[in-house]
Structure 1
């Protein structure tokens, strides 16, 4: 289980510390004080790294609760998942609705970011379970090289 301490500040820091976790087995990431109220003014960033032939599967525990969204947007307290292979944010969650299914990374690195502002901390926070998954194998087909085209394309 991994937990980073909150940053001492009067507000959320822009220069967040990233904790790099080289993982070789399943484990969990939790918000501070989980399953109780998490602290205010917290910025935590984890980068999960696995060998290049592996991917990372993450699943949110159903005990999930962060500050509610404003106008449907998670602005203040949230947990965010970024797939570093594609440099794309997979999602940002707050309120009481975590990711309902598992997510499997495209490559060998994921970033998890947790932010809380100075207002309305909530409980229970979050718990993310992670596990390693083998990268799908690419099979080479015998024969000459060629090109693939869509099935409905006429020649």
Structure 2
């Protein structure tokens, strides 16, 4: 395989699977849709793993980050159960999205409904070097809240 490949290869595992798509030219992510044969209800406090029916071959040295859709989260409390999913560039199986209902009402996912979005981002995998000295910086070891509130 050409390691310089820039395209993302898509495979449908089912005939009903919707291809990932960007809603607008300016959209950062590719919408992922639920590949369901019938509606699926997610009760408040419940998580369900939903199939997309598609797999991808990402360009080398990239990853697919799976985020929630803002409208589902803001209006219905439907969010990815794992916060952000990571699809490694060498994974070739079906993409599945774990969704959690943090709302107070049951939510019904319809077949073909857009349930998440995937951003393709570059990934660095530097060589690891064990050391006793990390060097210095202006911030140093100051953490959690050390840079102030405003």
Provide the TM-score with structure 1 as the length reference: 0.30
Report the TM-score when normalising by structure 2: 0.30
